[in-house]
Amino acid sequence: MTYDITHLKVSEDDNGQRLDRWLKKKLPRTPYALIQKMLRTGQVRVDGKRARAETRIEAGQDIRLPPAEPKTEKLTFRSETGDKEFLQSITIYDDGQLLILNKPYGLAVQGGPNITRHIDGMLAQLRNLKGVQPRLVHRLDRDTSGILVCGRSLAATRDMGDIFVNRDIKKIYWAIISPAPRQDFGELNGAIAKGEGKRKEAVVINEETGKASRTLYRVIERSADNDAAFVAFWPRTGRMHQIRVHSADILGSPILGDEKYDCNGAMIDRYDLNGRLHLHAARLIFRHPKTQEIMDIRAPLPEDLRSSWQKLGFTIEYDSDPFSDILARDVEQVDGFKGTTNKLNASESKVSMGKNKRKK
C-alpha cells in the first residue's frame, strides 16, 4: 500500500496525454473511481494547481499524487522468458514509428479477470533505447487472429488512433460463415447494445438502446454445397463483436466456431475443421501518419485456419482487395458503388429477434 504523498515528473513520451489516463497507468492497482475522486477533490495537483481529468499534461510538469490504497496486491501480468522473441516472431511491420503484429488466436490483447498473459503486458519487452514502450492503438477479440497495430511513441499512437477514429482506414477481415448468404455483397446495419442475463458477455441487436453500427461484406468464394462461404468483412464502425453479431443476427450466417453467436458446430463436425473462431484480421490499408505513404499491411492466415480453408476448397492465397471500388471515407460518394449495395437492416433480417434476444 502507498500512504505517502509523492511527486512525479512527466516524461517526454507522456507529453500530451490525458491526466486521468496517465494516473491510471501510474496507479495500476488503484480503482478508476478513486482516481476520479482524487481529481474532483483536488488531491491531485499539476505544478501545484488543481486539474481536471481531461487536462493534457506536458513534459517536465510536476504531478502531486496523494496517498492511494491499491486495489489488490495480486499481479495482473506474468512475464515469461521468451516474451521478446515471441513478439518479434509475430511482427510483420516495424519502422520505429508503428509496430504491427499478427496476433495469434487465443491470446488476449489486454488484461482482465483471470487473464495473466496478454500482448499489452508483453510490450514492455520491446522498449526502445529511450525506454519507451509500444502502446496499443486498438484491440482485437481474444479469439480473433490477425493484424494488431501499436505505436512506438505516444505521438504515433495518438496519430494512428485518430486515423482509426476518423475511419480513414480500410480494415478487412476474412471469415468462414455458414450457411452461405444469398447475396454476394451488401451492407449490414444494426444498432449494437450490451447483452443481459445469459448474454451479458455478448452483444445484441437492439435498435432502441444500441449504438448505430454498419458492416460491409463481400462473398469471395462459396463451398461446393453452398453450406459455407469465404467472406470479407469491412466494419465501418468499431463496436465490440460487431462483425460476429452482424453476421449471425442480420445476415443469418454465424461465423464458424462462434458458439457465443449461435454457431451450432455442425459444419465443424461435418468437415472435421478446427473448432476456433474462423475470423482473421487479414488486411489494413491506410496512410502512414508520419510519412504519408499509403500502407497495405497483410497478415497471412495461421495454420489452423489454412487447414479449414483447404478442406472447404477456398483460396488461401487470395490477394485482391474485395472493396477496391470503395474509398476509406465517403463511401456513398464513390462512382460505380452508390446504389449497388444490398442494404440489410436488423428489421429486414431472416433472423427473428426480440429486444435483447437472439433466435435459438
- The 10 Å Cβ neighbour count of residue 147 is 24
Compute the distance between CA of residue 117 and CA of residue 79 in angstroms, rounded to an integer. 8
Compute the distance between CA of residue 256 and CA of residue 348 in angstroms, rounded to an integer. 23
**Interacting residues of 185 by C-beta distance below 8 A, sequence separation 6+:** 216, 217, 218, 219, 341, 342
Compute the distance between CA of residue 360 and CA of residue 351 in angstroms, rounded to an integer. 10
Taking the CA of residue 240 as centre, how many other CA atoms within 13 Å lie in the half-sphere pointing to its CB?
10
Catalytic residue of the set 141, 143, 249, 258: 141
Instruction: Extract the C-alpha cell encoding 308.
Output: 479449414
- Specify whether the CB–CB gap between 176 and 230 falls below 8 A: yes
Distance spanning both ends of the chain, measured CA to CA: 49
Give yes or no: 184 in active site.
no
Compute the distance between CA of residue 134 and CA of residue 126 in angstroms, rounded to an integer. 7
DSSP string computed for 169-211: EEEEEEEEESSPPSSSEEEEE--EEE--GGGTTSEEE-TTTSB
- Over its C-alpha atoms, the chain yields an Rg (Å, rounded) of 22
DSSP 8-state class, residue 28: T
- The 10 Å Cβ neighbour count of residue 181 is 23
Catalytic site positions: 141
